[in-house]
Structures are given as structure tokens and as C-alpha cells.
Amino acid sequence: MRVLVTGAHGMLGHRVVDALRSRGHEVRGTDLPELDLTDADAVSRFVSDVEPDAVVNCAAYTAVDKAEEDEELAFRINADAAGNVARAAPYVVHLSTDYVFDGSASEAYTESSAPAPTGAYGRTKLAGEEQVLGASSSHAVVRTAWLYGEGGPNFVDTMLRLGRERAEVRVVFDQVGSPTWTGHLSTALVDVVQRKGAGIFHAANSGRCSWFELAVEAMRVADLDCRVVAIPSSEYPTPTKRPAFSVLETERDDGVHLPPWQDGVKGHLTP
């Protein structure tokens, strides 16, 4: 297949490019400044030129806290630009997030759970999902969570840096989710593209943990001698209120299943 990957320089996007190529697909990656997805005419021209069988849209405004101050720009990228891609391409796999949920559940969120974002980033991502699925019932929205991997700022790498610099780090224990490694997710995205999966998919490493437990595991696998201290979110205030619980699972017969989250940490830290 010929596949166009947007956001191809991003943490997930560059990994998706590699995963598609290693499965024999012809890949065209693009990102800013070559193509600004908020420009509908430019997107339409670019897609007509490339003539892809599928587009994997990894482009996004991902600065969760900054989005509170500039929701308009976040909306243009996460919602309107996603719509531009979805209207221009025959088949799109669009990435979304656990932050579309409010975090008040105690059971894992599945594809049919009702979204109710509490912050600007989540609102703009939910609007993007609606634009993509509204453009064609054959498009796919893949929600993932707590992403980390090479080539982008992420929690696991931040913990490892701090673990080398400090004797102690303080990490919140009262937010629980599904940490997901880009190495596992990118392979699963290739599968979705190949079978032209449609509708909403949840795709996260299996199991669940808190940020505290993720930090402990990262230190253990990297063999770093740094004490991880569990603190409540009230001691680490952020502009955006994060969901307290945002574990993602699939309820689809044809759903995406990824390995346990501990395997993701190992995969990321093992050369």
C-alpha cells in the first residue's frame, strides 16, 4: 500500500514510518514546515499529488498544559486540521487520546464509553475525532494513552534523566492509566491500516499503573539508584486537571491488543 504519514517527525510518527516501511509499504512522511494541515487547500492538493491508499495522522498539538491558554490554536490543529485530512483522503487512521475521558470511572474505558473531557486538549481531540468520523464511516480513530518512545519528550525519559541527576524524585500515585510504548503501538497501527479497520479503537499496552509505579519500573529496568517517593496530585499542581483514572481497554472483537506495559518499558530501554 502507499501510506502517507502526517506528523512524521513526531515521537509516534517517525516510528510509524519505520514500522510501515519494515512491512514493505511505500511511505511518504510529511510534517511542518512542508505541509501545514490547518491549510485545507494545501492538504487537498498534497493528498491528490501523493494519492495514498491510507493516511496515518500522527500530527497534533500535544502541549496539554499550554492548550489551556491557546485552545483556539489547539482546536485548529487537533480538530480542524484532522477534518481537513479526513475530507481529503480515502482512508484515515487518526490518533486520539485517553484525555477525552473525565477520569471518574473505576472500570477501564472501552470504545463505547462516553467521552467527557475536562481540559482544553481533551476537548480539541474529541472534536477532532468527531470531524474524522463525520467525514467518513470508513475512517478509524485510535485512542492511545501515556505515550513514550524515542524521539520526543516523554515521562519515562524525564524520569531517567532525573534518576541520573538526583537521589530522589517525587511522583504522583493517584493518577492511574495505560502507559504505552510507541514501538508496540506503531506495529498495531500498521495492522489497523492493513485491514482498513473502521470506527473507534482503543490501543494501549495492557495492565494499568500509576505514574509513581511507572517511574519505579523505569528506574528498576535502567538499574538507577534513585528513590521514588509517592505524592498526591495536590502536591504537583498543573494547569490542566489530568484524569485520575484513564485505563483504556478494547471491547471490540477485532480490537487492538498490545503486550503488558512492563514489556513496553523493557522494549524502550533495551537497545
Ligand X SMILES: NC(=O)c1ccc[n+]([C@@H]2O[C@H](COP(=O)([O-])OP(=O)(O)OC[C@H]3O[C@@H](n4cnc5c(N)ncnc54)[C@H](OP(=O)(O)O)[C@@H]3O)[C@@H](O)[C@H]2O)c1
* 211 lines the binding site for ligand X (CB under 6 A): no
Contacting range for ligand X; rule: CB under 6 A; set: 53-61, 171-179, 211-219, 234-242: 53-61
* 218 lines the binding site for ligand X (CB under 6 A): no
Query: 223: burial class by Cβ within 10 Å (0-12, 13-18, 19+)?
Result: exposed
Binding-site member from 20, 56, 74, 95 for ligand X (CB under 6 A): 95
* 120 lines the binding site for ligand X (CB under 6 A): no
3-state SS, residue 201: strand
Contact residues for 249 (Cβ-Cβ < 8 A; gap 6+)? 108, 109, 110, 202, 204, 206
Nearer of residues 78 and 262 to ligand X, judged by Cβ? 78
Enumerate the β-bridge partners of residue 248.
109
Binding-site member from 7, 115, 117, 119 for ligand X (CB under 6 A): 7
Give the torsion sign (CA, 246, 78, 87, 186).
negative
Element (H, E) at 242: none
Grid coordinates belonging to 97: 487520546
Residue 225 Cβ, how far from ligand X at the closest point, in Å? Answer: 27
Q: Give ∠ CA 131-190-99 in degrees, rounded to 5.
A: 45
Grid coordinates belonging to 135: 467525514
* 215 lines the binding site for ligand X (CB under 6 A): no
Nearer of residues 153 and 260 to ligand X, judged by Cβ? 153
From the list 99, 121, 148, 236, the catalytic residue is: 121
Q: Which positions from 10 to 29 touch ligand X by CB under 6 A, shown as an x/- string?
A: xxxx----------------
Binding-site member from 59, 88, 120, 171 for ligand X (CB under 6 A): 59
* 36 lines the binding site for ligand X (CB under 6 A): yes
Q: Which residue has the cell 492493513?
A: 194
* 159 lines the binding site for ligand X (CB under 6 A): no
* 131/123 Cα distance (integer angstroms): 12
Contact residues for 71 (Cβ-Cβ < 8 A; gap 6+)? 120, 123, 124
* 205 lines the binding site for ligand X (CB under 6 A): no
121 as an active site residue: the answer is: yes
* 81 lines the binding site for ligand X (CB under 6 A): yes
Contact 158/240 with Cβ under 8 angstroms? no
Which of the residues are catalytic? 121
Q: Which residues here bind ligand X, judged by CB under 6 A? A: 7, 9-13, 31-32, 35-38, 58-62, 77, 81, 95, 97, 125, 144-147, 152
